[in-house]
Amino acid sequence: MPTAIYDYAVIRVVPRVEREEFVNVGVVVSCQTTGLLEAGIELDAARVRALDPRIDLDTLRAHLEAIAIICRGGPGSGPIGALPPRARFHWLTARRSSIIQLSPVHTGRSADPAAVLDGLLDRMVRVAGNGTGNP
């Protein structure tokens, strides 16, 4: 398979926006060539609570799941989920001031863009020593 260009953004939880502290909790990957739009989310509640012990984790989980639902699209994903994958990616990565933010968009190349999600989670989200394979 030829090399395809993909874009990704890191999903961040910013419990107290005014402090600008955040924890990386996931990644969204998009490949226009293949139509790929996928989110991987791994919430480390202890790390988020270290920034704000009073955070409502159930509500946070629901909002993070909404990102995955929008990526999948189709029934139940609302009006944004009805957009083409690339438009959904741009909607998700738009700048906003809320407790869930996405990093600037980065670009990569891969012969298998669908396989990059796990590697990005290793590099950007998973913490060394927590059993996820990050050195």
Q: What local confidence, expressed as pLDDT, does residue 114 receive?
A: 86
Is residue 59 in a domain?
A: yes
Mean pLDDT over all residues of the chain? Answer: 92
Establish if 131 belongs to a structural domain.
no
Residue 45 lies in domain? 4-124
Between CA 114 and CA 38 the distance in angstroms is 8
Phi, psi of 130 (to 5 degrees): -105, 15
pTM greater than the 0.75 cutoff: yes
pLDDT tens-digit map of 82-103: 999 999 999 999 998 899 999 9
Is residue 132 included in any domain, yes or no?
A: no
